[in-house]
Structure formats: C-alpha cells, structure tokens
Amino acid sequence: MKQYFDFTGKVVLVTGGSRGLGAALCRAFARQGADVVIASRKLENCAALAREIEAETGRRALPVAAHVGRWDDIERLVDAAYGAFGKVDVLVNNAGMSPLAASSLDTSEALFDKVLEVNFKGPFRLAALVGSRMAAGDGGSIVNITSIGAIRPQPAYGPYAGAKAALNAVTQAFAHEYAPRVRVNAIMPGSFRTDIAKSWDPAKEAATPAALKRFGEPEEIVGTVMYLASEAGSFTTGAVIRVDGGRP
C-alpha cells in the first residue's frame, strides 16, 4: 500500500493551508514526499508553517498570501505555484468561512456576498485555472472541502450551506469537464476540533448527534484526502464523501 500514498515529486496546493484542517494536510503531504504550496490570507502564518515543514521534512514549502474570494488573488496564487514548481499535481480547495446570522432577514448583502465568494466563487475559479492546466498536462487531482451543512442546512448558516451545496454540484461538473486526466472529488466534513472550534461551548460536542459521539481531530480527514489525491483513488471521480463521524 505504500506506493499508493507516496507523493514524492508531487506538488500539492492547499488553500486555507496555514491552520486547522489545511495545516494538517500540508504537514501530511510533505511527510509523504510532496512539495506544498500553503495559501491563506496572512503571509506570516503561511511562512511560519512553511519553515516548520521544511525543517521537519526537507520538502519545499511555498507560502503565498491570497484571499480566495478575489479572482485577482487566485490568479496570482496560481502564477506563484507554477512559477516556483512548474506544475500542480493536487489542489485542495480547503479555505472557507461560516459566519452566523440572527436570521435570513438579518443577513446583509455584504455578508451574503462574502460567504459565497470564499466558499463557492473562489474555489470554482481556482479549480478552473488549475484543472484546465492539469488536463492539458500530466493530469492531477482536485479535492474540494465542502461541509455536511450542504445536506444538513440550518437557518443560522443558510448562505454557507447553499455555497457548499453549489461546490458539491460543480465538483461533479468539473469531474466531467476535465476527465479523463483529472479527477475531481469533494469531502463534506462534520465538526472538527480546529482553531475555530476552540471558541465553541463545550456542551456543543457533548450534544453532537454524530454516531461516534465526538468531534473529529484535523488529522482524521487526512486519510480521505490522500485517498482521493493518490493512485489509491484512481477510479474515483465526481464523488462527494462524508467525513462527519456518522451524522444522522
């Protein structure tokens, strides 16, 4: 099985890569031999993780500051990745945001637009830019991190749920558009103990409806992403996989 998860010589781009699930993925891919592009809004956070990864693994790690809701930033991110490495073999669209609103009526246009930009508009554009290059070159894999909220929406985060459902939909569209050289899949995480979760009421985890009766650790999504990104998942495309601890 080792050959399936060997990313030696591969280049992996992860958005939202400086913390939480994204940081866990950057570390894991580098440990499996990949060079990584770490993208998030704050360059200093990306650079700190890049230094850590290079010291631990000896792999190259490129920090890039980019706001994934802005197409100009996305184009600059892609140019930086290809300029440094000449290719991207794996794209993980991980960046997202899920602000809450008191009600749908109280959701401002600015908040609505911001949620859609980061969770749908940006990942769409990044997948198009990278996926088209992959298809014209040696192929690759795109993994979109969406949310269990896409199929379990709640009033407090309706626009977020809608944006993630849209990302699930275009995942399947891209899977056909860039086939057969590029595989495109999505993962719907449930609740994970990320930096954001530190501000949650502890009672929230105790009341989780998940079958496993707890939240996930960031490292527990790594295996699913690596399966989809590697040769182990060579016959999987257009799939949307739940990693949610068994949410009803």
**Using an 8 Å Cβ cutoff, are 42 and 119 in contact?**
no
Catalytic residue positions, numbered: 160
Partner residues linked to 19 by β-bridges:
none
Cβ count near 47 (within 10 Å): 17
Q: How far apart are CA 240 and CA 236, in angstroms?
A: 10
Which residue type sits at 117? E
Burial category of 116 from C-beta neighbours within 10 Å (exposed 0-12, middle 13-18, buried 19 and up)? middle
Distances (CA, A) of 202 to 29, 91, 215: 31, 33, 11
Distances (CA, A) of 124 to 103, 132, 196: 27, 12, 24
3-state secondary structure of 113: helix
